[in-house]
């Protein structure tokens, strides 16, 4: 999960911290976009799900 952590002693700028790596963050973002109706994200997630299912057979 990404979060914003303030940098202490700096000019008030904020920094992103990735807790589960960039792939997990990207997948969550794609999922949200797909839920909001983004057709490109829906296709990408569908392909990923099919690849995962085919790999289990």
For 20-56, how does the pLDDT look when each residue is reduced to its tens digit (9 = 90+)?
677 788 888 889 999 999 999 999 999 988 988 887 7
Round to whole Å and give the CA distance between 52 and 57.
9
Q: Is the pLDDT of residue 2 over 70?
A: no
Residues 2-6 have a mean pLDDT of 51
Taking the CA atoms of 19, 20, 24 and 26 in sequence, report the sign of the dihedral they define: positive
Whole-structure pTM value? 0.54
Round to whole Å and give the CA distance between 15 and 52.
33
DSSP class of 2: E
- pLDDT at site 14: 61
Q: Angle formed by the axes of helices 39-56 and 21-35, to 10°?
A: 120
Q: Is the pLDDT of residue 1 over 50?
A: no
């Amino acid at each position: 999960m990404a979060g914003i952590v303030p940098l202490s002693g700096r000019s008030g700028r904020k920094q992103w911290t990735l807790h589960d790596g960039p792939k997990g963050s990207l997948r969550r973002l794609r999922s949200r976009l797909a839920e909001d109706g983004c057709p490109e994200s829906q296709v990408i997630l569908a392909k990923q799900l099919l690849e995962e299912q085919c790999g289990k057979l």
